[in-house]
Structure 1
Amino acid sequence: MSISCTGTLNHLSLPTTDPQPTAAFLAEHFGCRIVTAGDSILLHRNGFDIVLDHVEEPVQWPRNFHFGFEMETLAEVRALHRTFDAAGVFMETAVFNNSRGSRFFCRMPGGVMIEVNTREDKEDDWRKLF
């Protein structure tokens, strides 16, 4: 007999050498609420927690590791890209479109890559690709 988890994905834990700037970035730009602060920081957003675990050794992330935030409109994605670019956020890409909608990639403090996307301009049948 096989058992599988039917529970909700409720948190992501990320190691970082400097959690304070990462927490500030997520709070300012993504609406995360800082719940606890200290060596490790707990943030909360829409029923999901992000734990920033303080570590001493530098973290090496695989180049394409990332997590994403979805916005309602392409205009919002473009506006956030401009905001990040003006603020000196490390931008991996410009805004681009593929069959699943428009998106861009950037890196938050600590080096983790973030994808910001919208499905507003997705191809109607993009799911047929999989």
Structure 2
Amino acid sequence: MPPKLAEIVEEFASAPREVVLEMLLEFSDAVPPLPAGMAAHEGMEQVPECQTPFFLKADVRPDGTVTTHFDCPPEAPTTRAFAGILAEGLAGADAAGILAVPDDLYATMGLAQAISPLRVRGGTAILARLKRQVREQTE
């Protein structure tokens, strides 16, 4: 797992439950805006498992590093927090590091005790689709 993401996972896993929701809200503000050409979600994949419209795109560069793009409305702070966690935790990561992220990332973070199973399922789907895009571009 990329070191920055591992650090975020550890922060969440060791935080008291009442602090986890505050931490999620902070990450919901950490989602970088989309580049102008992607504003209409051009070339992005929708994640239908999410209750709210959520779009993502992974671009593997020739040097193996991955650029991620996420879009989710501000009215969905928990789902948007998943994007913020991945955006920050995977910034500068290479394809192998992203593919090594455990599928049960959000359970490892302790989020299953703080948010609904439906939201955890959405976050898990976001990660799965991101990893699939990376895998398809590296095969």
Could you state the TM-score of these two structures normalised by the residue count of structure 2?
A: 0.27
Which structure: larger Rg? 1
> Which structure has the highest strand share of the two?
1
Higher RCO (C-alpha under 8 Å, 6+ residues apart): 2
